[in-house]
């Protein structure tokens, strides 16, 4: 008998590459698909979908830049239809907390999955710790100052390794079909406090500065960040970071039977691996 094949979209991204590593470690057959992988998958080019999906029975579904962007729900519904037609029977969808647009995309995927008899699990996640260690904030932390248009709001930052562990559990194990898990870290921190934790892990001073949204956008635009990314960041900082997501959850415990990883632990681990070197 041949092993079942899991397609990992965004397989070179923050959670995708971690999912790939864990699936491979468990002996699963994996195909990586992204715009820059050997198996190319471009959301704007439906002709790339069928080759990526061929032979797959499981799917880790992520969408860039974000499920909340206009058109994401329609694109993901169409892709899920293609996946079901190709023989995919189980889907794990990466989503975000507190984003009405993302939840609309969840509903669109779920409607197709339910009608096609496909098992769907949704991982609805808070902000990743890895934004500080390997994402868009990391260069500023290296330079010694992070300036963002956010004040005292707190966020239960989530370790992407916990997301990957949860995704692999939902892909390979029974009992997760039909579930939506809200995944958070174990405590809610302000961005200034998160930066202090990062500075402690780095062993040097890093400051946090609150800046007006217009100044933040202008600085990014001057660095060549495209308008669609600027619009997404404005959405995240003005809508998602308004306090609606400050509550912690037991989602990681539900899926994995263990507590989530604290930000301080995650950044110390990343620092030891040289993330800010």
Task: Please report the pLDDT score of residue 110 as a whole number.
Answer: 98
What is the full per-residue pLDDT of the chain (277 aa) written as tens digits?
Answer: 357 999 999 999 999 999 999 999 999 999 999 998 999 999 999 999 999 999 999 999 999 989 988 999 999 999 999 999 999 999 999 999 999 999 999 999 999 999 999 999 999 999 999 999 998 899 999 999 999 999 999 999 999 999 999 999 999 999 999 999 999 999 999 999 999 999 999 999 999 999 999 998 898 899 888 888 888 888 888 878 999 999 999 999 999 999 999 999 999 999 999 999 8
Question: Cα–Cα distances in Å, from 147 out to 14, 139, 140, 169?
Answer: 22, 12, 8, 37
- Evaluate whether 16 touches 10 at the Cβ level (below 8 Å): yes
State the Cα–Cα distance between residues 186 and 252, nearest whole angstrom. Answer: 9
- Evaluate whether 82 touches 53 at the Cβ level (below 8 Å): yes
Task: Please report the pLDDT score of residue 2 as a whole number.
Answer: 53
């Amino acid at each position: 008998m041949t092993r079942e094949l899991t397609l990992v979209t965004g397989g070179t991204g923050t959670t995708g590459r971690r999912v790939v590593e864990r699936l491979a470690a468990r002996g699963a057959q994996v195909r990586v698909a992204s715009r820059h992988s050997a198996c190319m998958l471009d959301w704007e080019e439906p002709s790339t979908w069928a080759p990526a999906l061929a032979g797959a029975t499981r799917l880790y579904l992520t969408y860039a830049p974000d499920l909340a962007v206009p058109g994401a729900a329609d694109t993901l519904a169409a892709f899920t239809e293609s996946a079901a037609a190709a023989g995919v029977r189980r889907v794990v969808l990466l989503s975000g907390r507190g984003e009405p647009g993302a939840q609309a995309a969840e509903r669109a995927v779920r409607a197709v999955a339910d009608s096609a008899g496909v098992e769907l699990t949704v991982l609805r996640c808070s902000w990743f710790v890895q934004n500080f260690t390997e994402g868009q904030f990391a260069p500023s932390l290296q330079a010694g100052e992070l300036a963002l248009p956010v004040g005292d709001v707190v966020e239960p930052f989530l370790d992407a390794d916990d997301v990957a562990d949860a995704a692999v559990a939902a892909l390979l194990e029974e009992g997760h079909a039909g579930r939506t898990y809200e995944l958070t870290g174990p405590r809610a921190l302000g961005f200034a406090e998160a930066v202090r934790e990062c500075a402690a892990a780095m062993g040097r001073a890093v400051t946090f500065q609150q800046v007006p949204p217009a100044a933040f956008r202008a600085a990014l635009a001057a660095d060549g960040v495209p308008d669609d990314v600027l619009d997404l960041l404005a959405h995240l900082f003005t809508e998602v970071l308004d306090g609606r997501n400050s509550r912690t959850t037991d989602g990681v415990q539900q899926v994995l039977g263990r507590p989530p990883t604290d930000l301080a632990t995650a950044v110390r681990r990343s620092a030891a691996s040289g993330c800010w070197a």
